């Protein structure tokens, strides 16, 4: 069985080739994302029955059609919104992910982004490195006593809510599928999105990206928010209308934003100008907007690393091996995605 691993570096190749892959399998590794494979690379990978992808890969039907023998897509993350599930269902391609590996890791990072923003830790460090001491300009805000809106209370959002509640905050939450235990334990109170927008001093996003919530944080939503609100996003960049956020940050309506994810983030993260000619015009536009966003003094942007701790990476890799091993043995991955 031929397995193709995209988005890999030397470390990952070493892990997967250290006698961890199931017997009877052959692995081919590419540093590139699946959509960026060259004709020569595709010729080596066309017999793939398994594709192992990371979050940088995009797998629409036109990309997946290049792999006629494909039986399984093994995503090395929780999110699988970049995979055309309808096409997979039509072709009988199974999809697997690694759920739960980063609930603690991402939640802790989200708290870190919020602390950095409201206490101006990073910006004050930058100033002092350049010989500037600006005590008045670096005046922050307490988190204690404030209202925090949490959008999405799955594993990550629930853990974030517990952490931020421990700061002495009032937590309001929205989720189409609420977790009664969180409310019963006094961690949060479920309410509407409009109430979260109206009352929250800080808003943290922990929802998966779907067609229904695309750019849910848009001009209209931001207009409902308190002046001086802070927004943190460690979920998916597609949840925020980048232009609307940029304008709100410039005007001061949004006091600050901590963003680990951006819409159309791949070009910025990979820092590869050669990708531009292959992209649609809107991707080029958003790449420019993202570059402008980075320049704002009230923004902290990190390159999609909220998941990236030693412990979380180990959970991803072991979960991927479990998916591959079970698929080879039984025809079903351990952590199957419902199509």
In a domain, 338, yes or no: no
pLDDT (tens digit, 9 = 90+) per residue, 118-142? 999 998 888 888 899 989 888 999 9
Encode 267-305: b = buried (16+ Cβ within 10 Å), e = exposed: bbeeeeeebeeeeeeebeebbebbeebeeeeebbbbebe
**Which of 40, 35, 50, 66 is CA-nearest to residue 4?**
50
User: What value, to the nearest 5°, has the Cα angle with vertex 164 and ends 160 and 166?
Assistant: 125
In a domain, 35, yes or no: yes
Please indicate, yes or no, whether residues 47 and 115 belong to a single structural domain of this protein: no
In a domain, 271, yes or no: yes
Domain ranges, residue 205: 103-301
In a domain, 335, yes or no: no
How many domains are there within the chain?
2
* Calpha distance 98→53 (Å, rounded): 11
| CA distance to 118, 147, 167, per residue, from 144 (Å) | 12, 9, 5
In a domain, 117, yes or no: yes
C-beta separation of 147 from 197 below 8 A: no
Please indicate, yes or no, whether residues 276 and 318 belong to a single structural domain of this protein: no
**Which of 6, 163, 88 is CA-nearest to residue 333?**
88
Count the Cβ atoms, other than its own, within 10 Å of residue 32: 16
Helices 103-119 and 310-330 cross at an angle (nearest 10°) of 150
Question: What pLDDT is attached to residue 117?
Answer: 95
In a domain, 47, yes or no: yes
Please indicate, yes or no, whether residues 83 and 142 belong to a single structural domain of this protein: no
Q: What is the CATH number of the domain that holds 85?
A: 3.40.50.720
Please indicate, yes or no, whether residues 69 and 198 belong to a single structural domain of this protein: no
Banded model confidence at residue 18, pLDDT cuts 50, 70, 90: confident
Range from 3-7, 54-58, 286-290 carrying the lowest mean pLDDT: 286-290
**pTM confidence score:** 0.84
Question: What pLDDT is attached to residue 280?
Answer: 55
Residues acting as catalytic residues: 236, 265, 304
Please indicate, yes or no, whether residues 173 and 195 belong to a single structural domain of this protein: yes
In a domain, 189, yes or no: yes
Tokens 């988190």, located at residue = 143
User: Two tokens at 157?
Assistant: 């959002």
More confident site: 288 or 95: 95
More confident site: 31 or 272: 31
Please indicate, yes or no, whether residues 6 and 42 belong to a single structural domain of this protein: yes
Question: What pLDDT is attached to residue 271?
Answer: 54
Please indicate, yes or no, whether residues 8 and 107 belong to a single structural domain of this protein: no
Please indicate, yes or no, whether residues 29 and 130 belong to a single structural domain of this protein: no
Please indicate, yes or no, whether residues 257 and 317 belong to a single structural domain of this protein: no
In a domain, 336, yes or no: no
Please indicate, yes or no, whether residues 117 and 150 belong to a single structural domain of this protein: yes
Please indicate, yes or no, whether residues 245 and 146 belong to a single structural domain of this protein: yes
Please indicate, yes or no, whether residues 75 and 179 belong to a single structural domain of this protein: no
* Calpha distance 189→180 (Å, rounded): 10
| CA distance to 133, 299, 320, per residue, from 136 (Å) | 9, 19, 49
Question: In a 10 Å sphere around its CB, with 0-12 CB exposed, 13-18 middle and 19+ buried, how is residue 10 labelled?
Answer: exposed
């Amino acid at each position: 069985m031929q397995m193709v691993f995209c988005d890999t570096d030397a470390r990952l190749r070493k892990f997967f080739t250290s006698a961890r892959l199931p017997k009877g399998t052959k692995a081919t590794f590419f540093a590139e994302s699946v959509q960026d494979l060259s004709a020569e690379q595709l010729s080596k990978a066309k017999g793939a029955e398994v594709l192992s992808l990371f979050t940088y890969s995009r797998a629409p039907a036109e990309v997946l059609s290049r792999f006629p023998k494909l039986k399984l897509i093994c995503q090395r993350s929780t999110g699988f919104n970049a995979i055309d599930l309808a096409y997979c269902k039509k072709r009988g391609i199974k999809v697997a992910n690694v759920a739960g590996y980063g609930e603690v890791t991402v939640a802790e990072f989200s708290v870190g982004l919020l602390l950095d923003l409201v206490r101006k830790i990073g910006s004050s460090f930058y100033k002092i490195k350049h010989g500037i001491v600006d005590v008045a300009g670096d005046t922050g805000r307490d988190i204690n006593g404030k209202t925090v809106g949490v959008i999405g209370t799955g594993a990550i959002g629930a853990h974030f809510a517990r952490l931020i509640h421990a700061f002495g905050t009032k937590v309001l939450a929205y989720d189409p599928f609420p977790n009664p235990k969180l409310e019963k334990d006094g961690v949060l109170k479920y309410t509407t999105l409009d109430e979260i927008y109206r009352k929250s001093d800080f808003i943290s996003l922990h929802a998966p990206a779907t067609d229904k919530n695309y750019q849910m944080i848009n001009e209209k939503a931001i207009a409902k928010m308190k002046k001086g609100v802070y927004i943190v996003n460690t979920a998916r960049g597609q949840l925020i209308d980048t232009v609307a956020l940029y304008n709100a940050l410039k005007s001061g309506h949004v006091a600050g934003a901590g963003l680990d994810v951006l819409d159309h983030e791949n070009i910025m993260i990979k820092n590869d100008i050669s990708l531009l000619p292959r992209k649609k015009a809107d991707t080029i536009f958003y790449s420019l907007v993202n570059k402008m966003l980075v320049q704002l003094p009230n923004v902290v942007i990190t390159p999609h690393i909220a998941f990236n701790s030693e412990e979380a990476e180990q959970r991803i890799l072991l979960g991927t091996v479990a998916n591959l091993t079970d698929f080879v043995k039984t025809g079903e991955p351990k952590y199957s995605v419902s199509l």
